[in-house]
Amino acid sequence: MTKTKDDSPSEEKASVTLPGTVEKIIPAVGHHEPEKAQIAVDGTDELYGEIRIDNTLQDEAGNKVKLKRGAEVEVTIAADSEATTKKQPEPNPDSK
């Protein structure tokens, strides 16, 4: 998936950006599957902290580029306001 300016998080979206590192590059399987980049996302549960994406990106000039193993990246999760609810405050253990 190619990110465009219209896809960027706007003021109307709730978002979080987490650091990550490209752990490995997975070669394409056949002609129909693209190369994948496996990214370890910091700040996640150990068993769920990796994602795989198509290793096809676009730079500012519109050139096709791909991630390298060991590259530091940012992973942004964004959601429309209709897809979120207010978080309840956590109880203060010091108050009695």
Separation between Cα atoms, residue 73 and residue 40, nearest integer Å: 10
pLDDT in tens, the chain (96 residues): 444 445 554 468 999 999 999 999 999 988 888 999 999 999 999 899 999 999 999 999 999 999 999 999 999 999 998 999 988 888 887 765
3-class DSSP state of 19: strand
For residue 7, the model assigns a pLDDT of 54
- Rounded Cα–Cα distance for residues 96 and 51 (Å): 42
Q: What is the pLDDT of residue 5?
A: 47
Quote the CA–CA distance of 95 and 42 in Å, as a whole number: 32
Of 23, 2, 31, whose CA–CA distance to 73 is shortest?
Answer: 23
Predicted pLDDT of residue 6: 52
Furthest-apart CA atoms within the chain: distance in Å = 64
